[in-house]
Amino acid sequence: MYVGADVISALQFTRSDVEKLIALAEEIRRVYETGGRLDVAKGKVLFTAFFEPSTRTRLSFQFAMIKLGGAVVDLGPEEVTSMAKGESPEDTLRTVDSYNPDIIVVRHREPGFAAKAAEICRAPVINAGDGYNEHPTQALLDVYTMWRIFKRLDGLVAGLMGDLKYGRTISSLSYTLSNFRDIKLYFISPRELRPREEVLKILDQRRVHYELVERPEEVVEKLDVLYVTRLQKERMSPEEYERLKGSYTVTYDYLARFKKIPVVLHPLPRVWELSRDVDVLPQAQYFEQAKNGLYVRMALIKTILGV
């Protein structure tokens, strides 16, 4: 990962990029958790442009930049910008880029939008989610969380469950894990929600071992990690949502019947697919996962700024 790099796809990440970002995130975490500060981004500005809803991704990028001593400008909701007058997101970005931000973080419902933004903008662009396509920085915090728990990524067995077709965290996480040795992925979903062909093709090219399964009970006891995702309601037809709703739910009682309960992760937000009674289990690590997003994004910002 070089200074000034755009971060558009997790396919960009090498094993060494991931390892360096994890090491840097750990270092930054130590500084902050012992009351230190790192004002390395002083005088730099990060611009967040979210054309789709977000809580964790937007706010953790903003917190990350401010905690590094930098400043943040946020686009704000559509109704207060000229988008409400019919301006295109492209024109909005071109204009803000001319004010010279040091990094632009962008989310949009259109697959490929981040790549387009990177062409338009002089500033480095970070993809914070482009439709069903990718969410590379989520993958970084997902693997950082796994590394913190297992102290390695090689040899991990992960079950990725839920909406694997429209969930952009799935493609990015699979691509990122594909850099490591002896990874085994179980894609757990109804047939209609299996990962897209283009994603499986890339995993085949990268010689990743994976299996498609329909019922979690077939594999739960083999897993180190169960990564649950929500049905991407906004990316499917209402009929499809109604049909698939409730096709899988992870509850405390469901997990309690297995001899071995894997670490449970979720990119959040959760709706009904992961019940709140799971939170009491020591294996429930999704809030820790969200917290890790802060440190890994600080590491990424620091790296891209070259400070």
Min CB(74)–ligand NCD separation in Å: 16
Q: Of residues 9, 48, 57, 179, which one binds ligand NCD by CB under 6 A?
A: 57
> Which residues in the 66-125 window bind ligand NCD by CB under 6 A?
none
> Which residues in the 211-250 window bind ligand NCD by CB under 6 A?
229-230
Closer of 138 and 145 to ligand NCD (Cβ): 138
Q: Does residue number 168 form part of the binding site for ligand NCD (CB under 6 A)?
A: yes
Closer of 70 and 129 to ligand NCD (Cβ): 129
Site string for ligand NCD, 248-267 (x = CB under 6 A): -------------------x
Closer of 101 and 131 to ligand NCD (Cβ): 131
Min CB(306)–ligand NCD separation in Å: 26
Contact 51, 109 (CB under 8 A): yes
Closer of 269 and 306 to ligand NCD (Cβ): 269
Min CB(230)–ligand NCD separation in Å: 5
Min CB(268)–ligand NCD separation in Å: 5
Q: Of residues 129, 131, 136, 216, which one binds ligand NCD by CB under 6 A?
A: 129
Contact 153, 180 (CB under 8 A): yes
Closer of 178 and 229 to ligand NCD (Cβ): 229
- What DSSP assignment string belongs to the chain? --TT--B--GGG--HHHHHHHHHHHHHHHHHHHTT----TTTT-EEEEEESS--SHHHHHHHHHHHHTT-EEEE---GGGSGGGGT--HHHHHHHHHTT--SEEEEEESSTTHHHHHHHH-SS-EEEEEETTTB-HHHHHHHHHHHHHHHS--TT-EEEEES-TTT-HHHHHHHHHHTTSTT-EEEEES-GGGSPPHHHHHHHHHTT-EEEEES-GGGTGGG-SEEEE----GGGS-HHHHHHHTTS--B-HHHHHTSSSPPEEE--S---SSB-GGGGGSTTB-HHHHHHHHHHHHHHHHHHHHT-
Site string for ligand NCD, 267-306 (x = CB under 6 A): xx--------------------------------------
Q: Of residues 20, 44, 56, 109, which one binds ligand NCD by CB under 6 A?
A: 56
How many residues lie near ligand NCD (CB under 6 A)?
Answer: 11
160 pairs with which residues across the strands?
187, 227
Closer of 172 and 178 to ligand NCD (Cβ): 172
> Which residues in the 16-55 window bind ligand NCD by CB under 6 A?
none
Pairing of strands 263-265, 225-228: parallel
Residues of this chain that bind ligand NCD (CB under 6 A): 56-57, 129, 135, 138, 168-169, 229-230, 267-268
